[in-house]
Structures are given as structure tokens and as C-alpha cells.
């Protein structure tokens, strides 16, 4: 007789499993109650089924063709703006037609962005060059005119995404484990989320949990947003997954709460400034912008 291995662990990618539609009859419950060997497996199966049914989902709403869809996208009420390494292009949400564009040969590697207070803030770095340097670049939301810059210089790594939450800047600095793209003596575990006040004074920082570092290696987090609940929803370099993290009550290690399956192919993500729980992302492979809806559970 083949022995079954007892493995009761639930992977972070459990959200990708379709919940089973299981019905139990009165005979099943009586049988399990009278048979100790059946009681706990049935209870465990019920708990797993309930857990999977309660997972947050990310549902695709629409796709737009956009040749510039190489790094990220942001969106407001009427438009979405797509980033490549050295340019951004504004599209009309309704028609999908190009409205405006910006290009500069001074830009090396634009990453993730956000829209706040009429401005577009975008993480920028010299990736994949070593040593790593980074900056936050700012544009007027309506005109796409470049209006400001904050340079970190050589500091904490390669800036991949940033957000503004409750009067603080949160900036993700990535490290890598790819030959030629990693700083000597450092790997993905050196990635950190840094908190600054509005005068860019560092007031805190957190590192990624080891299990997430292992999953992301040789890359790091490419996109992220701080949710209304104060949690961190972030995206990898290329996997169709989102990771929900939370801040710890003690220590410096972020807590990996769950994994959400998504049609977005990694890279940057951004919440729509007008439509609640609408999350935007891209597909580098198909050069498309992807509009999705988060269904929180």
C-alpha cells in the first residue's frame, strides 16, 4: 500500500487554486465523528476550502495596446500614462488614443509612478549600471512638463517604486543577484523599503522576509503601492503575482501576508486615482496596458 505524505502546509500561491465545491451529507458528518481517523482530515479540508474561498482576487477589466508599455503606468479620471525607460505617453482612457508624450535622453531607467496633487512622481535609476544611483522625477499631470527632481545619488540601492502615504514618502530600493547587475557583497536580501518625511529625511526602513527574497531572486520588487489600510501591495519583476505585505509591530522585517494571482506581468503597478480598487499594470511581452479590479476579501 502506498503511504501518503502528511503535508499540511498551505503555500503562499494558494490563491491560484480554485476553491472546491464540496458538499457533506449527514452521513459524512456521522461517519467522521465515529471514526477518529476521518475527523481531523475532514475538518482540515473544510478549513482549507473556506480559506481559499476568502482569498482576494484581481480581475482583468480591459487591455490597451501601447508600444511604450515597458516599465509602468499610472491613471487618473480621463487618462493613463505609460512609462518606458526614457519617455512617457498619455493615452485617452475611452478611445485608447495618444494625447501627449514626453522624452528626455537624460532619463536612464524610469520605473513605477504615482499621481498625487496634480503631479506624476516616478522612481528613476541607472539600472543596470553599477554603482547604483537613483532619483525621484516629477512631472505636471496635465502638461507632462518636467517640474522637479530629488536625487538620492548613491544611497540604498536601485529605486524601483515609491508612494506617498499619510504625509510620508515610501521608497523601495532594490538589490539584485544577476551577474553584472549586483553590487559586490550584496544580493536581493539587501533590498529595503525606506520611509522619509516630506523633507526627505529618513525616518525608518524595512527589509523583505527571507521567503519572499528567495522567491524573487535574482530580481527584487518592481512595483508597489500603500493601500488605504496601510498595507503594501507589491509586484515582482515578471511573475503574474501580487504580494500583500504588512509592517511589523516589532523589528525590521516586513510580513508576507498573502499572494494574489493577477493578469499583470510583473513590473510596476498603480492604483487609479478616480476608480476605487482599480489597479493598473502592463505586459512587457505583448506591449499592453492592463486595467484590473481588486476584489478584497
Q: Is residue 222 part of a domain?
A: yes
- Count of structural domains within the chain: 2
Residues 111 and 44 in one domain: no
Q: How far is Cα 204 from Cα 111, in angstroms, rounded to an integer? A: 22
Sheet hosting strand 158-165, strand order edge to edge: 158-165, 168-174, 192-196, 202-207
Q: Is residue 18 part of a domain?
A: no
Residues 179 and 215 in one domain: yes
Tens of pLDDT, residue by residue, the chain (297 residues): 444 333 433 344 333 333 334 344 444 433 444 554 445 555 544 444 444 446 899 999 999 999 999 999 999 999 999 999 999 999 999 999 999 999 999 999 999 999 999 999 999 999 999 999 999 999 999 999 999 999 999 989 999 999 999 999 999 999 999 998 999 999 999 999 999 999 999 999 999 999 999 999 999 999 999 999 999 999 999 899 999 999 999 999 999 999 999 999 989 999 999 999 999 999 999 999 999 999 998
Q: What secondary structure does DSSP assign to 66-122, as a single string?
A: -TTTTSEEEE-SSEEEEE-SSEEEEEETTT--EEEEEE-TT--EEEEEEEETTEEEE
Question: Which element (helix H / strand E) includes 175?
Answer: none
Domain extent for 284: 58-295
Residues 40 and 184 in one domain: no
Residues 48 and 87 in one domain: no
Whole-structure pTM value? 0.82
Q: Is residue 223 part of a domain?
A: yes
Residues 262 and 147 in one domain: yes
Amino acid at each position: 500500500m502506498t503511504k501518503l505524505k502528511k503535508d499540511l502546509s498551505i503555500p503562499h500561491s494558494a490563491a491560484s487554486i480554485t476553491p472546491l465545491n464540496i458538499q457533506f451529507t449527514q452521513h459524512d458528518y456521522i461517519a467522521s465523528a465515529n471514526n477518529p481517523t476521518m475527523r481531523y482530515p475532514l475538518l482540515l479540508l473544510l478549513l482549507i476550502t473556506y480559506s481559499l474561498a476568502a482569498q482576494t482576487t484581481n480581475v482583468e477589466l480591459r487591455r490597451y495596446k501601447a508600444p511604450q508599455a515597458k516599465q509602468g503606468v499610472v491613471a487618473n479620471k480621463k487618462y493613463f500614462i505609460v512609462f518606458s525607460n526614457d519617455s512617457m505617453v498619455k493615452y485617452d482612457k475611452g478611445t485608447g488614443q495618444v494625447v501627449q508624450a514626453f522624452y528626455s535622453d537624460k532619463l536612464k531607467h524610469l520605473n513605477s509612478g504615482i499621481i498625487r496633487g496634480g503631479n506624476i512622481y516616478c522612481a528613476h535609476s541607472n539600472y543596470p549600471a553599477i554603482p547604483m544611483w537613483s532619483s525621484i522625477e516629477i512631472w505636471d499631470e496635465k502638461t507632462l512638463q518636467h517640474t522637479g527632481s530629488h536625487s538620492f545619488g548613491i544611497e540604498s540601492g536601485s529605486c524601483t517604486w515609491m508612494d506617498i502615504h499619510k504625509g510620508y514618502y515610501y521608497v523601495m530600493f532594490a538589490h539584485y543577484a544577476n551577474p553584472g547587475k549586483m553590487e559586490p557583497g550584496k544580493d536581493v536580501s539587501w533590498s529595503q523599503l525606506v520611509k522619509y518625511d516630506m523633507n526627505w529625511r529618513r525616518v525608518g526602513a524595512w527589509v523583505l522576509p527571507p521567503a519572499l527574497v528567495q522567491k524573487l531572486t535574482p530580481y527584487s520588487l518592481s512595483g508597489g503601492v500603500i493601500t488605504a489600510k496601510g498595507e503594501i501591495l507589491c509586484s515582482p519583476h515578471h511573475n503574474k503575482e501580487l504580494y500583500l505585505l504588512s509592517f511589523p509591530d516589532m523589528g525590521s522585517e516586513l510580513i508576507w501576508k498573502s499572494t494574489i494571482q493577477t493578469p499583470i506581468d510583473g513590473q510596476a503597478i498603480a492604483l487609479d486615482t478616480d476608480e476605487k480598487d482599480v489597479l493598473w499594470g502592463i505586459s512587457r511581452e505583448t506591449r499592453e496596458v492592463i486595467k484590473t479590479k481588486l476584489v478584497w476579501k
